[in-house]
Chain A
Amino acid sequence: MKIVKYLSLVMLFLVAGMTYAQEDSTETRKPGHTNNNRFKQLYEEFSTPNMFRTASGAPGPQYYQQQADYVINVNLDDKNKKLSGSETITYTNNSPDVLEYLWVQLDQNVRAKDSKTPLIESSGATPADMAGSFVNTYMGNPYDGGFKIMEVKGPKGNPLPYTINQTMMRVEMPKKLQPSEKFIFSIKWWYNINNHVTDRARSGYEEFEDGNRGYVIAQFYPRMAVYNDVEGWQNSQFWGRDEFALPFGNFDVSITVPSDHILDATGVLQNRKDIYSKEMMDRYEQAKKSYDKPVIIVTQQEAEAASKGFSNNTRTWKFKAEMVRDYAFATSRRYIWDMMAVKIGDRDVMAVSLYPPEGNPLWEDYSTRLVASTLKSYSRMTFDYPYNKAISVNAKNQGMEYPMICWNYGRPDKDGTYSERTKYGMFGVIIHEVGHNYFPMIVNSDERQWTWMDEGINTFVQYVAEQDFGKTYPAAIAPNETYPSRRGPAKNIVNYMSGDQDQMAPIMTKGLNTYNFGSNAYAKPATGLNILRETIMGRDLFDYAFKTYAQRWMFKHPTPEDFFRTMEDASAVDLDWFWREWFYSTDYVDIGVKEVKTFYVTSKMSSQVRDMMEKRGMKESDLPPLVYMVEEGSEDFDESMKNSTLNDVTTLQEYIMDNMTPEERAALKSPKYFYEVTFEKPGGIPMPIIAEYTYSDGTTERVTYPPQIWRKNDTSVGKVIASDKEITKIMVDPDEETADIDTSNNSWPQRKKLGEFTKFKQDTEQD
């Protein structure tokens, strides 16, 4: 009998479903579709794993990378602002392929007279212009930038044929380069060093008021392009916007500059005894043992005295650097130099700063400390910093990174005071640029193709490092209690993501072609990673997976897929939906509470069920004892139901008495309130539903429904809640963790928030 009754029950509700289907069949039939579920795995977007890069996101058994070693000699002619040099490149072909030619990058050519870079930018006529700019733009001869290649010679000194296509030079070898073979060739060149302030460039010089110059020199030598299993030769032109792809190698560099210059560069200084005065050596030895504050190697007084020298003599600084992907140096008469030791793992690393007097007092107070703090934070998140030092150089309007050395802006006003804006700008840029030592200098992704892989990932760790810095130096961020990071917290990306879709590109877009470069490649990926860390995966799972990625790919060349695969592989959190939505699309998050229905429980059959039974000619005796849910306000609802409890529901009580022991009965919960909550998702991106329920006694409870709740119902989903306390408020995402672009639908009952404008008007009227 029981079984028959259960079957009848199933029939009742099953048939009800089928009836609905029949009613729909009179409409036109929709066409079929492919799998467009948001939780679909990324098989179609990802390349098939192979022997070079595994499905788990790690380097495969046949993974290879090329090596380019350099011996470079350069001479900086301060008077004429020229740099001339010669280099010998040893290129090792570790690939299984036979190489027919080599590609060498000539970045300075972006500034050549015939450069096409200005031609690809849209411009308009200005009603007024500064006289100097006008002359430069319309009257002067084009700036004579770009590499002047004097010679390209093969291993035996024979000239090699070469072809220059804008910023890329193809060098023909006497014979093809076989796997495992090395090719040695040399280049002689010179170029006019540009003014990086008026030119808005990543390297060059700035002019100080006393006639001296500060040189921040990079991209100063012809350097090898990357050859790999993903792109072949990465010889995509340098148009000026997206950055660099470079192979690793060992550098042996000699730099000749005026003898009264102070210089620092990538690598270990080989001839310190020739360069340092006795005074400097003593201070340096002190700095090596100073872990809590910087020691000044060249003081402001000394720098100011040296500035008057304008020596005609020169001296040569010699450096060696191993396993770096690039080389850069900074040199000037006006530099103050300070250093501090940092313990990283079981090694000591030097944190160094170079800055003119214009940077003080801000730079003496903070720069080296920021470098040290950043190294510690990044080491904790990824791996111990493997190089011997990290340098922060103060250069006007700069923010750029090279191995072990970076340029950073941030100067006080002439009277030594500085605004909060200047201070936090300087803090942020130093942390960010020093952080770049990790991404892309060591985890060497292809910036030319994927700006976000270094900028976005770096900006995310920068946020962590900023928060650390604020905790270590509370006085530096006072009166703020936590560091006021701009990028990182989910709600800070809402403005960008809720904006005009025509002005948006997905993160997985080549940097050259995006709008809103900063938001697209820096802030949005950084925020996405932060959301994974704080909300989707949690810190433990995220940190472990992130570290796994960094350690798998340190001193190697990862692609976006390697990152995406590793994060899942190491955590067992399915993230394909997140990568697709956050990285491959311009979708946004908007989740809210659509409605809440209250239900009461009775043993009296509701009219809805009665109707269903009548349609099928069933009697109440055909069914097993049922418990009915009656919606408040429906025709079966009775005010008296509000006062009843489950004890009044006879069918329920009978069942409990018949089937449970006194101990089991005592352990039962007794919910009094039943709600059907419908959550809606007007936005595309699925996110966990973080629901905070507030009860009539003032207490709250948080329930997080995983994002998979949306897998079958993309736009709305219901949850039935049984509670022994009355729910007075439901709030979705109370801590603003999901980058929800519209919070007006996030609370039930709906609340009207005072608009920004009205609030400002009220506040000012009160003054």
Chain B
Amino acid sequence: MKFLKVALLFLLFPLLTGSTSAHKFYVSTTDIEYVAEKESLQIITKIFIDDIEQELRKRYDPSISLASKKETKADAELLKKNILQKLNISVNGKPVKMNYLGKEYDIETVKVYIEIEEVNSLNSIEVENKILMDIFPEQQNIIHLKTSSRRKSLILDIDNPKGLLKFN
């Protein structure tokens, strides 16, 4: 029986009501799909805009503004820099080059698109995702890896920011 599960996309409503301010949850999701015919790893990372904006403001410049008319090219560059700094991937035991393709805003989240090319086989993948962990110690970064035949997931947090998935 076909059992295709769609990658987990986090429902985003941290600030909505009834004590949400007291109980905001800190999560991001990264979907990595291995497309063998294209020899590429297609990565989409979803992060709450409020959280990453706070991080960039603390780290770089309090006037940074994301997802609004005030966002400057420099702001976008800092977002890219921060993501690429905190997300590190090794394929088959070797570090790889990540191509940052761009980003898209939804009402509360930003989707960052990254591609890793020239992956002609996938035996193992090690993902380190420390996005937002320095500002939110309770941050959890969920990783979903999908190939044509398998689905595997990791939950990375401050104690375990790195995980290895093997495919043999």
Contact = CB atoms under 8 A, between A and B. Distances in A.
Given A522-B16, A760-B104, A399 B21 contact: yes
B2 A682 contact: yes
A409 B111 CA distance: 25
A760 B67 contact: no
Nearest to A757: B42
A399 B18 CA distance: 5
A334 interface: no
Contacts, number: 163
Interface in B1-39: 1-25, 33
B157 interface: yes
B13 A487 contact: yes
A400 B23 CA distance: 12
B159 A124 contact: yes
B158 A399 contact: no
A128 B33 contact: no
Given A202-B21, A495-B9, A680-B1, 4 more contacts: A128-B134, A496-B11, A498-B7, A757-B42
Contact of B137 (A124, A455, A522): A124
A424 B33 CA distance: 33
Contacts of A742: 4-6
Contacts of B159: 124
A518 B11 contact: yes
B126 interface: no
A122 B26 CA distance: 13
Contact of A495 (B1, B11, B153): B11
B119 to A, nearest CB: 14
B49 interface: yes
B18 A516 contact: no
Interface string A481-516: 000101100001111101110000000000000001
Contact of A421 (B108, B111, B134): B108
Contacts of A398: 21
26 contacts: A130-B58, A202-B21, A241-B22, A241-B23, A399-B18, A400-B17, A409-B15, A421-B108, A425-B15, A428-B16, A428-B17, A429-B16, A455-B18, A496-B10, A498-B6, A498-B7, A518-B11, A518-B25, A519-B13, A682-B1, A744-B4, A745-B4, A755-B42, A757-B115, A761-B101, A761-B115
Which of B9, B11, B12 has the largest number of chain A CB atoms within 10 A? B11
Given A518-B14, A518-B16, A424 B22 contact: no
A760 B113 contact: yes
A715 B3 CA distance: 12
Given A126-B137, A429-B17, A760-B104, A715 B24 contact: no
Contacts of B65: 413
A76 interface: no
Contacts of B13: 486-487, 518-519, 522-523
A243 interface: yes
Interface residues of A, number: 67
A701 to B, nearest CB: 27
Contacts of A127: 134
Contacts of A757: 33, 42, 44, 113, 115
A442 B120 CA distance: 62
Contact of B16 (A196, A200, A399): A399
A193 B117 CA distance: 56
Nearest to A524: B11
A125 B11 contact: no
Contacts of A487: 13, 16
A227 B155 CA distance: 42
A630 interface: no
Given A128-B134, A419-B68, A757-B33, A495 B8 contact: yes
Contacts of B7: 498
A756 interface: yes
Contact of A517 (B23, B111, B113): B23
B127 to A, nearest CB: 16
A759 to B, nearest CB: 10
Contacts of A484: 107
Nearest to A447: B18
A202 B22 contact: yes
Which of B21, B42, B138 has the largest number of chain A CB atoms within 10 A? B21
Contacts of A516: 10-11, 25
Given A516-B25, A517-B25, A757-B33, A202 B19 contact: yes
Interface string A247-271: 0000000000000000000000000
Contacts of A760: 101-102, 104, 111, 113
Interface in A209-236: none
A432 B20 CA distance: 12
Contact of A397 (B21, B68, B111): B21
Interface in A148-201: 196, 200-201
B141 to A, nearest CB: 13
A535 B42 CA distance: 36
10 closest A-B pairs (Cβ-Cβ)?
A495-B9, A499-B8, A124-B158, A399-B17, A757-B42, A419-B68, A519-B11, A397-B21, A126-B137, A432-B17
Contacts of A611: none
Nearest to B49: A421
A492 to B, nearest CB: 8
A498 B5 contact: yes
Given A421-B67, A518-B11, A518-B16, A486 B107 contact: yes
A401 B22 contact: no
Contacts of A125: 137, 158
Interface string A87-130: 00000000000000000000000000000000000111111101
Which of B7, B17, B69 has the largest number of chain A CB atoms within 10 A? B17
A523 B16 CA distance: 11
Nearest to A499: B8
Interface string A304-345: 000000000000000000000000000000000000000000
Contacts of B16: 399, 425, 428-429, 432, 487, 518, 522
Given A202-B22, A494-B6, A745-B2, A429 B15 contact: yes
A201 B3 CA distance: 42
Interface string A739-765: 001101100000000011110110010
A374 to B, nearest CB: 13
